[in-house]
């Protein structure tokens, strides 16, 4: 069955870095657009970064220059490298796979930026 599993979250100090990973199974990964979203307490889920099947990328203004999304089609993996983390980056981060009428979510991984 279709499954996305995130990993790599945790507690990090401001200015630090984390790398999130998302393992996909049950889909033809290379044709899916992949994204990272986040949801902070009391806020709506928002798009952080997107990488298309053609490897074009798009970022939220709040993370441009700090976060990098990438994918490895041979391993069915998508990554989010997060640098210069700020307390406002604290949220649950979700992996998403999207293709026309099929939209799949992972269970999420907590990222906490605090001193």
Tokens of 98: 């999207």
pLDDT recorded at residue 1: 82
- Is the predicted pLDDT of residue 106 greater than 90, yes or no? yes
The pLDDT tens digits for 8-58 are 999 999 999 999 999 999 999 999 999 999 999 999 999 999 999 999 999
Query: Do 38 and 96 form a contact (C-beta atoms < 8 A)?
Result: no
Residue closest to 8 by CA, chosen among 98, 87, 94, 84: 94
d(CA 80, CA 94): 11
83: CB partners within 8 A, 6+ apart: 17, 66, 67, 68
- Is the predicted pLDDT of residue 88 greater than 90, yes or no? yes
pLDDT recorded at residue 60: 98
| 108 to 23, 61, 74, 80: CA distances (angstroms) | 12, 22, 23, 13
pLDDT recorded at residue 99: 92
């Amino acid at each position: 069955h279709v499954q996305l599993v995130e990993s790599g979250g945790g507690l990090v100090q401001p200015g630090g870095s984390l790398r999130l990973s998302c393992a996909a199974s049950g889909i033809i990964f290379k044709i899916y657009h992949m994204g990272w979203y986040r949801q902070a307490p009391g806020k709506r889920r928002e798009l952080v970064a997107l990488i298309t099947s053609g490897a074009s990328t798009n970022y939220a203004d709040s993370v441009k220059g700090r976060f990098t999304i990438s994918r490895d089609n041979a391993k069915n993996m998508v990554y989010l490298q997060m640098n210069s983390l700020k307390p406002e980056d604290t949220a649950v981060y979700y992996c998403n796979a999207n293709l026309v009428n099929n939209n799949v979510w992972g269970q999420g991984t907590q990222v906490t930026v605090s001193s």
